[in-house]
Amino acid sequence: MILIQILYLIASVLFIIGIKMMNKTKEARAGNLWSSVGMLIAIIATLMQINMVSITEILACIAIGSAIGLYYAYKVEMTQIPEMVSLFNGFGGLASVAVAISDFWLKTNVNMLSMGIIITISIILSVFIGAITFTGSMVAFLKLNGKITGNPITFKGQHLINLILLLVFIGASVFAGVNQLDTTTIIILTIISLLLGILTVLPIGGADMPVVISLLNSYSGMAACATGFILNNNVLIVAGSLVGASGIILTQIMCKAMNRSLINVLLGGFGQTVTKLEEDGPEIIVKEVGVEEAAMLFDGASSVIVVPGYGMAVAQAQHVIRELYELCEKRNIDFKFAIHPVAGRMPGHMNVLLAEANISYDKLIEMDQINDEFSNTDLVFVVGANDVVNPAAHTNPKSPIYGMPILNASKARTVIVSKRSMGKGYAGVENELFGYPNCLMLFGDAKQTIGKLVLALKEL
């Protein structure tokens, strides 16, 4: 028993070290490895306590799970990572629900023992948080991969229904705490929680997906922590607490980056309405640039900042951007990437894609550190980003994104925007930047147009 607790302690320390190392891009890969080692130690320590299942059965389950994980690790494209993270969060929540219900069944139907108040509360919390995490993550997954619309889905009385369901859940939980938690009550609590997960995420728009993913990640950690109390497993409590706390901190960072409160995100997302002022506003007149002209602008620049967005991920243009980056480096052009906290569909989405293209970590600069450099930059190249560079966040008090911290791309000497069309971003508003006198539009698929840009630049 002492050996097991020591192994759990070692695993917990490795989790903490791993999360700490993930704070820096250069150390993130090693931090992930240390956390994985910690999880392996925790699994081994847990297996040492199991008597009901044979080692053969355990190893078979590990082999099957590892094979599935390895298969999807190779199959899933980098652009599909947000959906994959949503599935991970969802299955984590489902596992917590399964453990809570099975432990309830074991204690009430097998051992015929009355559960204490701590175990009862832990089971209720595990079911509540885990079920919301599962169905909420599934809705987020469907929104991210386009199975259902990424726009907010609302209907009359939606918030009232959520409130009624929450009050019924609280009432049933109090009843279970005063009396004995029974099968009927646990079924009611599970169904309500599953419905709340769906109804909570449906009205959230695509622009808020980074916040939703980090919040659901936090939920999965809190559900695991509650499950740890059910099983009296210290390492599960520690690991769940770490994931829950780090997820909440990340969620707060995401909300700050959008200048929005968490309540505002949960009650309705960007893109739900556009004010009449914006619809009747002045027409944006854009200036288009060709590949050859764009190449000459790159050739004459001494400093370049690239602003990547979700459009880059859709076009899978990160590799051809690396070619552009290497070509500019050879010409002694100062080349950097400006990363907005909510660019893409998940926290760190752009960092992951650019790192996959073997772009140096020190070239990926966060918004707060690079915003002052735009005014001294010759050329800014916006690839698939929209709302995160929209000056309306500073200039239009009636805009849905007003007050949102953005990358100051408009302050550069010249801005080139690589975009398929004049379509709006997730906020559903026109981008004022496109009409600025220093802004040029390079229309077309990002991967194809940047590939042509690289070829044209090589010929200069």
Given a contact cutoff of 8 angstroms between Cβ atoms, the answer to whether 422 and 283 are in contact is: no
Q: Which residues contact 63 (CB under 8 A, 6 or more apart)?
A: none
Residue 262 phi, psi (nearest 5): -65, -40
C-alpha distances (whole Å) from 95 to each of 131, 224, 246 are 9, 8, 20
CA-to-CA distance for 277 and 89, rounded, in angstroms? 40
Q: Is the dihedral of CA 29, 30, 35, 38 positive or negative?
A: positive
Q: What is the largest CA-CA distance in the chain?
A: 82
Q: Which residues contact 179 (CB under 8 A, 6 or more apart)?
A: none
Helical residues (DSSP H) of 206-274, grouped into ranges: 209-231, 234-258, 262-267
Q: In what order do the strands lie in the sheet with 364-366?
A: 364-366, 334-339, 303-308, 379-383, 414-419, 439-443
The single-letter DSSP state of residue 180 is -
> Other C-beta atoms within 10 Å of 232: how many?
11
Given a contact cutoff of 8 angstroms between Cβ atoms, the answer to whether 142 and 202 are in contact is: no
To which residue do tokens 């790192």 refer?
355
CA-to-CA distance for 12 and 162, rounded, in angstroms? 37
CA-to-CA distance for 235 and 238, rounded, in angstroms? 5
Beta bridge partners of 308: 383
Active-site annotation holds for 387: yes
Which of 208, 372, 387, 445 is flagged as catalytic?
387
**Element housing 338 (H / E):** strand 334-339
> Other C-beta atoms within 10 Å of 280: how many?
7
**Element housing 5 (H / E):** helix 2-21
Residue 56 phi, psi (nearest 5): -60, -45
> Other C-beta atoms within 10 Å of 16: how many?
15
The type of residue at 409 is A
Q: Which of 212, 242, 217 is nearest to 342 (CA)?
A: 212
Task: Report the catalytic residues.
Answer: 387
